[in-house]
Structure 1
Amino acid sequence: MKAPLGVVLAGGLASRMGGGDKGLLKVRGQSLLARVIDRLQPQVAELALNANGDAARFDAFGLPVLRDSIDGFPGPLAGVLAGLDWAAAQGADSIVTAAADTPFFPADLVPQLQLAGEGMAAPLVLAATPDARRGRLRHPTFGLWPVALREDLRAALQDGLRKVVLWTDRHGGREALFDADGFDPFFNVNTPEDLKRAETMLGQTL
């Protein structure tokens, strides 16, 4: 199966961390973004970052930096669209996205997303984990996205759509279920307390 391109979504406002780039915060001497890159890069054909502002702050990573084409920080779907436009220019069929503040996501993220999308004309799949109340909890920044739907996504964003699952449900999006027994692989760093927890979790997984 052809490997998709990868896009790390690093365009959030990080308001609960006091602003700035969460991905550049360090855990045990390595930035969250570097840990995400190390985890995603082996699973994809090429990798880029989605971020706004001065791209030079990411120069050390040596990756293309893709700006949102929709103004006003409309959320992760704008980053997905930027990634799809980049992929289209490369002649690729799809991208897989990962959040820059989620350093423990599964090392088999891409193959499991692709497996869940088998048989779909335009594979559209979100990662999910079991949830006691809702059955499954979807993780909208971790997904497989088809280039074929990029103009539909652009139109939806221009019409004001912001919620990822509303758009994926509209197109019959599927879910790839990942184990979260005793450990949430999609734990993300939103607060200073989360950063301390990530330090602890990393110590437990070493």
Structure 2
Amino acid sequence: MADVRPPAVILAGGLARRMGGGDKPLRSITGRPLLAHVIERLQPQCGALALNANGDPSRFGRFALPVIADTVHGFPGPLAGVLAAMEWAATAQPDAHHVLTVPGDCPFLPRDLVPRLDQARRAENADIAVAASAGHLHPVIALWPIALRDALRTALIDEDIHKVEHFTARYPRAVVEWLITPYDPFFNANTPEDVTEAERIAVGDQ
């Protein structure tokens, strides 16, 4: 049976080196943090919702969401966040079979992200469904089987697998393409210039 509203985890733990450090998701566009835009897009599509971030969780206190740290130490990167998401989802929403992950700096996520990923996963009998746009995969914007958490932990700890694509290549994967007009829904704010562009897009989208 398909998940109606699967749990979701926003990966908010990047180091934002191109931003000069700090938490990228807390940078503002249209007077609100990027993270607030991400949450607004996700909440109608998901069940339980949490943030994945390391360090002091109180900096995200205003969002009133659980903050889960990586459960594998010394393995920085998105796969550690995906593992934390799987392990949290198994407890937070025990009846769910999949968990969605997205980055915390993508303020224009599609409002049909979950249903399209889930539909493709079922139609193609795939384990994982991944978003794409303009011919580019967005590996951490994906619907993951929670049952893969032990396999992912083994890949991280015992096999030194760090790249998302190296892990997903082991499983049947559905890729779902989105149009990039009037803008790429997976636009992410990596630099100060990106934040300026996000502001422009957001104003035009209101």
Q: How does 1:21-170 map to 2 (within 5 A)?
A: 21-90=23-92, 91=94, 92-118=96-122, 123-130=127-134, 136-158=135-157, 159-170=159-170
Contact 2:124 2:174 in 1 (8 A): no
Q: Between the two proteins, what is the percent identity of the paired residues? A: 49
Superposed CA offset, 1:161-187 (max 9, x none):
111111111112221111113421111
Superposed CA offset, 1:131-190 (max 9, x none):
xxxxx2100121000111111111111121111111111112221111113421111001
Letter matched to residue 107 of structure 1: R
Matches of 2:7 and 2:29, distance apart in 1: 26
Instruction: Kindly report the root-mean-square deviation, in angstroms, between the aligned alpha carbons of the 2 structures.
Output: 1.4
Aligned structure 1 segments of 4 or more residues deviating by more than 2 angstroms:
119-123
2:189 matches 1:186: no
Q: How far does residue 46 in structure 1 lie from its aligned partner after superposition? A: 1.0
* SS at structure 1 position matched to 2:50: strand
* SS at structure 2 position matched to 1:118: helix
Superposition TM-score, scaled by structure 2 size: 0.93
Q: How far does residue 122 in structure 1 lie from its aligned partner after superposition? A: 6.5
Matches of 2:91 and 2:120, distance apart in 1: 26
Q: How far does residue 49 in structure 1 lie from its aligned partner after superposition? A: 0.3
Q: How far does residue 119 in structure 1 lie from its aligned partner after superposition? A: 5.1
Contact 1:122 1:149 in 2 (8 A): no
Letter matched to residue 110 of structure 1: V
Task: Identify the residue that residue 133 of structure 1 maps to in structure 2.
Answer: none
Matches of 2:76 and 2:137, distance apart in 1: 19
* SS at structure 2 position matched to 1:186: coil
Task: Identify the residue that residue 173 of structure 1 maps to in structure 2.
Answer: 173
Q: Residue 153 and residue 121 in structure 1: after superposition, are their counterparts in 2 closer, same or farther (change >3 A)?
A: farther
Superposition TM-score, scaled by structure 1 size: 0.93
Contact 2:133 2:177 in 1 (8 A): yes
Q: 91-100 vs 174-183, which deviates more?
A: 174-183
Letter matched to residue 186 of structure 2: F
Contact 2:126 2:172 in 1 (8 A): no
Task: Identify the residue that residue 20 of structure 2 maps to in structure 1.
Answer: 18
Q: How far does residue 103 in structure 1 lie from its aligned partner after superposition? A: 0.2
Superposed CA offset, 1:58-107 (max 9, x none):
11111110100122352111111101001111312111111110101101
Matches of 1:161 and 1:50, distance apart in 2: 19
Letter matched to residue 195 of structure 1: V
